[in-house]
């Protein structure tokens, strides 16, 4: 999946996978003589056919208005259920911008600062963790660094703890896949790969920590907090954290190209299990990759953030912070110049156009 929006007056959101939806109440074009957007249909159908993608959906926004939606292929290939624009898909790491907006909103309200420390005696999560970390550099990590993936974990060096469930469960003597807090306690005893703030390294674990910060500061569980304070003001009603072993109502069914199997994260599920249904835990991934959403939901989210004067959640100052590059040396070349694109707070950002308005996007992937 790729989710892009541009402040150059044009937005688009697409989701590919499989779905089990009701058709959208919006008018859908089905024939060439009915709508001028047929070139979009041709492109998506060609893309899907070349890759064997069973189903997908498109939502297109212009001038902050939804102007076209369409489903393609099957929501459920075996039941011959068509995919629609309001079919729910696992959006994987496209979940991260939603977590980032929730954190920026709390900063806007003065309930935290992006420069707050996360760990250590005075850190936002300090009281939840026992003793000093093995690596004292953890005490220097800030919320801003978590948002910008510069906190110091590098999954290419030490692995991604969000998917190392067997290793962590064994270390903690757990019989099931660990939940977020046990994972954080385990990582509290592991060394960082990089000094905080020195380099970009994409981190699912960093966004898991942000989810727990939201819970600690608000006293609410992560999912209902985001639903109430981020999604509802934008008119997004059906997004939720996905289920691991089954699809929820209105959600796609998922297939892998070769029907791949994986070890199950649940002891009661026989191994091996179909990879999308038990090879990882959606609930554990909540803040970094656990949401299910429709293409229309993503379009609404993009449109809400595109116009600072009309954004129902973030101020112009907060939106500017979302698109601000990390401090040096992250995302700088050998001469110290900022690269053409960078990861801001929850988005990849590319300044574009005569006024430097930002093109922003995020991708996500799961089996």
Mean pLDDT of the chain, nearest integer: 88
Q: Residues of the chain with pLDDT > 90: what percent?
A: 74
The stretch 57-86 carries a mean pLDDT of 92
Q: What is the mean pLDDT of residues 343-348?
A: 97
Average pLDDT over residues 113-126: 93
Q: How far is CA 288 from CA 153, 334, 364, in A?
A: 15, 31, 10
pLDDT at residue 8 greater than cutoff 50 = no
Beta bridge partners of 14: 2, 58
Whole-angstrom distance, CA of residue 239 vs CA of residue 242: 9
Q: What is the pLDDT of residues 294-304, one digit of tens each?
A: 999 999 999 99
pLDDT of residue 218: 98
Buried b (16+ CB within 10 A) or exposed e, 165-174: beebbeeeee
DSSP state of 79: T
Question: Distance between CA atoms of 182 and 194, rounded to whole angstroms?
Answer: 22
What would the mean pLDDT of 142-157 be, rounded to a whole number?
A: 98
Residue 276 C-beta-side C-alpha neighbours within 13 Å? 20
pLDDT value at residue 266:
86
pLDDT in tens, 214-240: 999 999 999 999 999 999 999 999 999
pLDDT in tens, 283-296: 999 999 999 999 99
> Which distant-in-sequence residues (6+ apart) come within 8 Å of 297 by Cβ?
236, 238, 239
Q: Of 146-150, 151-155, 279-283, 288-292, which range is least confident?
A: 279-283
Q: Which of 74-78, 90-94, 216-220 has the lowest mean pLDDT?
A: 74-78
Residue 132 reports pLDDT greater than 90: no
* Residues 6+ positions from 199 with CB-CB distance below 8 Å: 150, 154, 329, 330
DSSP 11-76: EEEEEEE----PPPSS----SGGG-TTHHHHHHHHHHHHHHT--EEEEEEEETTEEEEEEEEEEEE
Tell me, what's the pLDDT at 358? 84
Q: What pLDDT does residue 307 have? A: 86
Whole-number pLDDT of residue 352: 83
Checking if the pLDDT of 175 tops 70, the result is yes
Report, in this order, helix, strand and coil percent for the chain, each rounded to 5. Answer: 35, 20, 50
User: What's the confidence (pLDDT) of residue 7?
Assistant: 43
Q: For residue 154, is pLDDT > 70?
A: yes
The mean per-residue pLDDT over the stretch 184-210 comes to 97
Strand order in the sheet with 240-241: 89-90, 291-293, 240-241
**Contact of 38 with 32, CB cutoff 8 Å:** yes
In eight-state DSSP terms, residue 348 is: E
CA 312 – CA 305 distance, rounded (Å): 8
Question: Over the stretch 260-275, which tens digit does the pLDDT of each residue have?
Answer: 999 888 888 888 999 9
User: Which residues lie across from 180 on neighbouring strands?
Assistant: none
| Predicted confidence band of residue 23 (pLDDT cuts 50, 70, 90) | very low
Confidence of residue 321 (pLDDT cuts 50, 70, 90): very high
Q: Which of 322, 243, 230 is nearest to 286 (CA)?
A: 243
* pTM for this prediction: 0.90
């Amino acid at each position: 999946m790729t989710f892009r929006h541009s402040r150059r007056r044009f937005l688009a959101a697409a989701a590919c996978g499989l779905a089990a939806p009701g058709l959208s109440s919006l008018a859908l074009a089905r024939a060439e003589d009915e709508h001028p957007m047929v070139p979009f249909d041709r492109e998506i159908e060609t893309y899907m056919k070349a890759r064997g993608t069973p189903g997908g959906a498109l939502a297109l926004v212009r001038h902050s208005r939804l102007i076209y939606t369409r489903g393609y292929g099957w929501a459920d290939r075996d039941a011959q259920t068509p995919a629609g624009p309001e079919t729910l898909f696992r959006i994987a790491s496209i979940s991260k911008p939603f977590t980032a907006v929730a954190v920026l909103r709390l900063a806007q309200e003065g309930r935290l600062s992006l420069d707050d420390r996360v760990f250590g005696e005075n850190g936002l999560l300090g009281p939840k963790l026992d003793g000093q970390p093995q690596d004292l550099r953890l005490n220097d990590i800030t919320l801003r660094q978590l948002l910008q993936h510069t906190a110091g974990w590098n999954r290419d060096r030490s692995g991604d703890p969000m998917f190392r469930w067997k290793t962590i469960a064994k270390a903690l003597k757990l019989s099931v896949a660990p939940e977020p807090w046990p994972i954080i306690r385990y990582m509290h005893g592991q060394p960082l790969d990089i000094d905080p703030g020195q380099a970009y390294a994409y981190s699912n674990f960093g966004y898991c920590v942000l989810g727990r910060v939201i819970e600690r500061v608000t006293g609410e569980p992560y999912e209902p907090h985001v639903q109430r304070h981020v999604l509802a003001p934008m008119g997004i009603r059906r997004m939720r954290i996905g289920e691991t072993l089954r699809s929820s109502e209105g959600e796609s069914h998922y297939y892998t190209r070769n029907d791949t199997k994986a070890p199950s994260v649940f002891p009661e599920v026989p191994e091996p299990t179909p990879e999308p249904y038990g090879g990882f835990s959606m609930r554990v991934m909540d803040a970094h990759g656990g949401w299910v959403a429709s293409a229309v939901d993503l379009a609404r989210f993009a449109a809400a953030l595109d116009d600072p004067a009309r954004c129902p959640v973030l101020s112009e100052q907060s939106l500017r912070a979302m698109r601000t590059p990390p401090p040096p040396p992250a995302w700088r070349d050998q001469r110290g110049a900022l690269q053409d694109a960078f990861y801001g707070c929850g988005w990849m950002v590319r300044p574009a156009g005569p006024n430097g308005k930002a093109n922003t996007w995020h991708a996500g992937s799961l089996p």
